[in-house]
Amino acid sequence: MNTTMSSLSPIRQTAIISAIAALLSVAFTGTVYLLFFGVDDRFWPAINMSLLIPWAITIPLGLHMSKQRYKLVGLTNRLKEAQTKLRDANKALEQRANFDGMTGLLSRDSFFDQLELMRVDEKANVLMIIDVDHFKNINDNFGHPIGDQALILLGKVFRKTLRDNDLVGRIGGEEFGVFLPETSAPEGQIIGEIIRHEIENTIFEPCHNMRHVITVSIGVTDIASHHQRAAILGNADTALFTAKRRGRNQVVLFEPGMRAKPRPVHDTVQNLKSAISHSNFR
């Protein structure tokens, strides 16, 4: 009833309220008059007055109140619409913050945050970093929109190949991270080979009737209980660098003693300091 009344215009609301008040006034006045005086010459004038007075009072008062109620209902509806838009905007912001807009995979920060939540120190866990080989050539030869299509295609391959509880995120331009919970390093290497083989055999046609074979290099490392994020990422990155250095399109499992990826500026400065310290230059 309240919803029905709220949806009516102020004039209709006033008319309904006034009619109800007039009927109640007539019924009450007629009943009381009959009980005390019976039907006489003043009965009908009294009934007429009981009918007119509620209309005279409720019409201006009801019209004012109905207008205020009508405004309040409109304000409430606008507030609900604003709240709905705000919730949708918050969901969109959360989606944009947690997921990569192009591939639909986890964003870098969200990937590593969920990795820390899911890793179980008592059990074996694996991190792999996957980098697309010669991705710059795809952008240079076919254009960046075609390169974007290649990344979207890789996202579909990851979702099709990996388990439901595995994490996969886009952690760089053409670089992806995969976290395999409760997985040993040898098992992770096998899964990496499955991913590499699946990507290499996925049909990608940047132009009509022109197939381009996409290959990836994958670095795999197990996650020890004492490893911090930087160490884990460094080990996986070292294994990836080894895969690139050995010719790409392969999976490499991190082993202690592997040659780490050089850092151009840092290594140049260190080499310069070492050369100066061992020279006679003053």
- Give the residue numbers marked as catalytic: 174
How many helices (H) and strands (E) would you count in the chain?
9, 5
Classify residue 85 by burial, with Cβ atoms within 10 Å: 0-12, 13-18, 19+: exposed
- Look-up of token digits 């507030």: 79
Cα–Cα distance between 228 and 236 in angstroms, integer? 13
Identity of the amino acid at 175: E
Residue 58 backbone zone (phi > 0: left; psi -120 to 50: alpha; other: beta): alpha
- Rounded to 5 degrees, φ, ψ at 40 are -140, -165
Picking from 124, 137, 132, the residue whose alpha carbon sits closest to that of residue 248 is 132
